[in-house]
Amino acid sequence: MHSLSYSTPLLQGAWVTAQLAVMSTLVGAIVSFALGLGRLAGSRLIRLPSIAMIELFRGTSLLVQLFWLYFALPVLGQAVGLDLRLPPVTAGVLALGLNIGSYGAEVVRGAVQAVPRSQYEAAKALDFTPWQIMRRIALPQAIPEMMPSFSNLAVQNLKDTALVSLISLGDLAFRAEQIRNYTQDSTTVYTLLLFMYFGMALVLMAVMKTLERFVGRWRPVARS
Protein backbone atom coordinates (compact mmCIF):
# COMPACT_ATOMS: atom_id res chain seq x y z
CA MET A 1 0.00 0.00 0.00
CA HIS A 2 1.66 3.25 -1.17
CA SER A 3 1.70 6.26 1.10
CA LEU A 4 -0.37 8.25 -1.42
CA SER A 5 -3.22 5.79 -0.96
CA TYR A 6 -3.30 6.71 2.73
CA SER A 7 -4.59 10.17 1.91
CA THR A 8 -8.31 9.39 1.54
CA PRO A 9 -8.88 7.74 4.95
CA LEU A 10 -6.56 10.21 6.66
CA LEU A 11 -8.36 13.20 5.15
CA GLN A 12 -11.68 11.69 6.24
CA GLY A 13 -10.30 11.39 9.75
CA ALA A 14 -8.90 14.93 9.61
CA TRP A 15 -12.37 16.25 8.76
CA VAL A 16 -13.82 14.51 11.84
CA THR A 17 -10.96 15.89 13.96
CA ALA A 18 -11.58 19.41 12.65
CA GLN A 19 -15.29 19.20 13.48
CA LEU A 20 -14.51 17.88 16.95
CA ALA A 21 -11.98 20.63 17.56
CA VAL A 22 -14.34 23.41 16.46
CA MET A 23 -17.38 22.14 18.34
CA SER A 24 -15.51 21.35 21.56
CA THR A 25 -13.68 24.69 21.48
CA LEU A 26 -17.02 26.51 21.18
CA VAL A 27 -18.42 24.45 24.06
CA GLY A 28 -15.25 25.16 26.01
CA ALA A 29 -15.60 28.91 25.44
CA ILE A 30 -19.16 28.86 26.78
CA VAL A 31 -18.12 26.78 29.78
CA SER A 32 -15.14 29.08 30.41
CA PHE A 33 -17.29 32.17 30.73
CA ALA A 34 -20.09 30.41 32.62
CA LEU A 35 -17.77 28.92 35.24
CA GLY A 36 -15.28 31.79 35.30
CA LEU A 37 -17.94 34.42 35.91
CA GLY A 38 -19.81 32.00 38.19
CA ARG A 39 -16.71 31.73 40.35
CA LEU A 40 -16.80 35.52 40.80
CA ALA A 41 -20.50 35.62 41.62
CA GLY A 42 -21.58 37.05 44.95
CA SER A 43 -24.11 34.27 45.54
CA ARG A 44 -22.69 31.10 47.08
CA LEU A 45 -25.36 29.08 45.22
CA ILE A 46 -23.61 30.04 41.99
CA ARG A 47 -20.02 30.40 43.18
CA LEU A 48 -19.60 27.07 45.01
CA PRO A 49 -20.95 24.82 42.19
CA SER A 50 -18.75 26.73 39.74
CA ILE A 51 -15.67 26.14 41.87
CA ALA A 52 -16.57 22.45 42.25
CA MET A 53 -16.95 22.00 38.48
CA ILE A 54 -13.66 23.76 37.76
CA GLU A 55 -11.71 21.71 40.27
CA LEU A 56 -13.35 18.44 39.21
CA PHE A 57 -12.50 18.78 35.54
CA ARG A 58 -9.05 20.27 36.15
CA GLY A 59 -8.18 17.67 38.74
CA THR A 60 -9.13 14.53 36.82
CA SER A 61 -7.81 12.98 33.63
CA LEU A 62 -9.44 13.91 30.33
CA LEU A 63 -9.26 10.25 29.32
CA VAL A 64 -11.16 9.20 32.45
CA GLN A 65 -13.75 11.94 31.84
CA LEU A 66 -14.22 10.68 28.27
CA PHE A 67 -14.60 7.07 29.39
CA TRP A 68 -16.99 8.07 32.17
CA LEU A 69 -19.30 9.93 29.79
CA TYR A 70 -19.22 7.18 27.17
CA PHE A 71 -19.13 4.00 29.26
CA ALA A 72 -20.15 4.79 32.85
CA LEU A 73 -22.95 7.32 32.32
CA PRO A 74 -25.19 4.84 30.42
CA VAL A 75 -24.77 2.30 33.25
CA LEU A 76 -25.73 4.97 35.78
CA GLY A 77 -28.72 5.84 33.63
CA GLN A 78 -29.88 2.23 33.59
CA ALA A 79 -29.71 2.15 37.38
CA VAL A 80 -32.17 5.04 37.60
CA GLY A 81 -34.30 3.99 34.63
CA LEU A 82 -33.01 6.57 32.14
CA ASP A 83 -31.38 6.20 28.75
CA LEU A 84 -28.20 8.27 29.09
CA ARG A 85 -26.26 6.74 26.22
CA LEU A 86 -24.28 9.34 24.28
CA PRO A 87 -23.13 9.03 20.66
CA PRO A 88 -19.33 9.01 20.39
CA VAL A 89 -19.27 12.51 18.87
CA THR A 90 -21.41 13.94 21.68
CA ALA A 91 -19.32 12.25 24.37
CA GLY A 92 -16.12 13.49 22.74
CA VAL A 93 -17.32 17.08 22.36
CA LEU A 94 -18.63 17.19 25.94
CA ALA A 95 -15.48 15.72 27.48
CA LEU A 96 -13.17 17.98 25.49
CA GLY A 97 -15.35 21.06 26.00
CA LEU A 98 -15.76 20.60 29.74
CA ASN A 99 -12.05 19.91 30.17
CA ILE A 100 -10.83 22.91 28.20
CA GLY A 101 -13.60 25.03 29.73
CA SER A 102 -12.43 24.31 33.27
CA TYR A 103 -8.96 25.65 32.42
CA GLY A 104 -10.44 28.55 30.47
CA ALA A 105 -12.58 29.48 33.48
CA GLU A 106 -9.44 30.37 35.42
CA VAL A 107 -8.27 32.50 32.48
CA VAL A 108 -11.60 34.37 32.54
CA ARG A 109 -11.49 34.83 36.30
CA GLY A 110 -7.93 36.15 36.27
CA ALA A 111 -8.55 38.57 33.39
CA VAL A 112 -11.71 39.99 34.96
CA GLN A 113 -10.01 40.42 38.32
CA ALA A 114 -7.10 42.20 36.61
CA VAL A 115 -9.35 45.10 35.58
CA PRO A 116 -8.44 48.00 37.91
CA ARG A 117 -10.66 48.17 40.99
CA SER A 118 -11.05 51.91 40.52
CA GLN A 119 -13.06 51.30 37.34
CA TYR A 120 -15.53 49.09 39.19
CA GLU A 121 -15.89 51.74 41.88
CA ALA A 122 -16.43 54.47 39.30
CA ALA A 123 -19.12 52.39 37.59
CA LYS A 124 -20.87 51.80 40.91
CA ALA A 125 -20.77 55.54 41.57
CA LEU A 126 -22.57 56.01 38.24
CA ASP A 127 -25.24 53.57 39.46
CA PHE A 128 -24.38 50.79 37.00
CA THR A 129 -25.90 47.39 37.78
CA PRO A 130 -23.51 44.44 38.25
CA TRP A 131 -24.48 43.14 34.80
CA GLN A 132 -23.80 46.54 33.20
CA ILE A 133 -20.43 46.74 34.94
CA MET A 134 -19.48 43.30 33.64
CA ARG A 135 -20.77 43.89 30.10
CA ARG A 136 -19.62 47.47 29.58
CA ILE A 137 -16.56 47.83 31.80
CA ALA A 138 -14.94 44.51 32.72
CA LEU A 139 -15.37 42.20 29.71
CA PRO A 140 -14.34 44.67 26.96
CA GLN A 141 -11.01 45.08 28.78
CA ALA A 142 -10.63 41.50 30.00
CA ILE A 143 -11.37 39.60 26.76
CA PRO A 144 -8.31 40.90 24.85
CA GLU A 145 -6.14 39.80 27.79
CA MET A 146 -7.69 36.31 27.65
CA MET A 147 -6.97 35.68 23.98
CA PRO A 148 -3.31 34.49 24.12
CA SER A 149 -4.23 31.93 26.78
CA PHE A 150 -7.35 30.91 24.88
CA SER A 151 -5.22 30.40 21.75
CA ASN A 152 -2.95 28.01 23.63
CA LEU A 153 -5.95 26.14 25.04
CA ALA A 154 -7.50 25.81 21.57
CA VAL A 155 -4.31 24.26 20.17
CA GLN A 156 -4.06 21.93 23.17
CA ASN A 157 -7.69 20.95 22.61
CA LEU A 158 -6.95 20.09 18.97
CA LYS A 159 -4.19 17.72 20.09
CA ASP A 160 -6.41 16.21 22.78
CA THR A 161 -8.98 15.18 20.16
CA ALA A 162 -6.75 12.17 19.45
CA LEU A 163 -8.13 10.58 22.63
CA VAL A 164 -11.58 10.14 21.08
CA SER A 165 -10.13 7.37 18.90
CA LEU A 166 -10.28 5.23 22.06
CA ILE A 167 -14.10 5.23 21.90
CA SER A 168 -13.99 4.13 18.22
CA LEU A 169 -14.71 7.56 16.76
CA GLY A 170 -13.20 7.73 13.27
CA ASP A 171 -10.98 10.76 13.77
CA LEU A 172 -7.50 11.30 12.36
CA ALA A 173 -5.73 9.23 15.03
CA PHE A 174 -8.24 6.37 14.64
CA ARG A 175 -7.81 6.27 10.86
CA ALA A 176 -4.04 6.34 11.17
CA GLU A 177 -4.07 3.43 13.60
CA GLN A 178 -6.32 1.44 11.26
CA ILE A 179 -3.86 1.98 8.40
CA ARG A 180 -0.87 1.11 10.57
CA ASN A 181 -2.49 -2.12 11.76
CA TYR A 182 -3.23 -3.12 8.17
CA THR A 183 0.11 -2.15 6.60
CA GLN A 184 2.56 -2.25 9.54
CA ASP A 185 4.04 0.88 7.94
CA SER A 186 4.49 2.73 11.22
CA THR A 187 7.11 5.22 10.04
CA THR A 188 5.13 6.56 7.10
CA VAL A 189 1.76 6.58 8.86
CA TYR A 190 2.92 8.33 12.01
CA THR A 191 5.04 10.82 10.04
CA LEU A 192 1.97 11.76 7.99
CA LEU A 193 -0.06 11.96 11.19
CA LEU A 194 2.54 14.23 12.78
CA PHE A 195 2.54 16.67 9.88
CA MET A 196 -1.25 16.65 9.51
CA TYR A 197 -1.74 17.61 13.16
CA PHE A 198 0.98 20.24 12.78
CA GLY A 199 -0.73 21.68 9.69
CA MET A 200 -4.10 21.81 11.44
CA ALA A 201 -2.48 23.50 14.43
CA LEU A 202 -0.93 26.14 12.17
CA VAL A 203 -4.34 26.90 10.64
CA LEU A 204 -5.91 27.11 14.09
CA MET A 205 -3.17 29.41 15.38
CA ALA A 206 -3.66 31.70 12.38
CA VAL A 207 -7.40 31.88 13.06
CA MET A 208 -6.82 32.60 16.74
CA LYS A 209 -4.24 35.30 15.92
CA THR A 210 -6.77 36.97 13.62
CA LEU A 211 -9.40 36.82 16.36
CA GLU A 212 -6.85 38.13 18.87
CA ARG A 213 -6.12 41.17 16.67
CA PHE A 214 -9.85 41.80 16.22
CA VAL A 215 -10.70 41.82 19.93
CA GLY A 216 -7.50 43.78 20.62
CA ARG A 217 -9.34 46.81 19.23
CA TRP A 218 -11.50 46.74 22.36
CA ARG A 219 -8.60 47.83 24.53
CA PRO A 220 -9.02 51.38 25.78
CA VAL A 221 -6.70 53.87 24.11
CA ALA A 222 -4.63 55.94 26.50
CA ARG A 223 -5.10 59.68 26.12
CA SER A 224 -2.31 62.08 26.84
- pLDDT, tens digit (0-9, with 9 covering 90-100), for 155-167: 999 999 999 998 8
> CB-based burial of residue 73 (10 Å sphere; 0-12 exposed, 13-18 middle, 19+ buried)?
middle
Domains present along the chain, CATH in parentheses: 20-169 (1.10.3720.10)
The C-alpha atoms of residue 50 and residue 32 are separated, in whole angstroms, by 10
pLDDT, averaged across the chain: 89
**Can you give the pTM of this predicted structure?**
0.88
Cβ(54)–Cβ(187) under 8 Å?
no
- pLDDT, tens digit (0-9, with 9 covering 90-100), for 79-100: 888 888 999 999 999 999 999 9
First to last CA, the chain: 68
Cβ(17)–Cβ(157) under 8 Å?
no
- pLDDT, tens digit (0-9, with 9 covering 90-100), for 131-150: 888 888 888 888 989 999 99
| Percent of the chain surpassing pLDDT 90 | 58
Question: Within its chain, how far is the Cα of 196 from the centroid?
Answer: 20
Using the predicted structure, report yes or no on whether residue 224 has a pLDDT greater than 50: no
Using the predicted structure, report yes or no on whether residue 45 has a pLDDT greater than 80: yes
The C-alpha atoms of residue 12 and residue 17 are separated, in whole angstroms, by 9
Using the predicted structure, report yes or no on whether residue 126 has a pLDDT greater than 60: yes
Helix, strand, coil percent content, the chain, rounded in steps of 5: 85, 0, 15
Residue among 112, 113, 134 at smallest CA distance from 123: 134
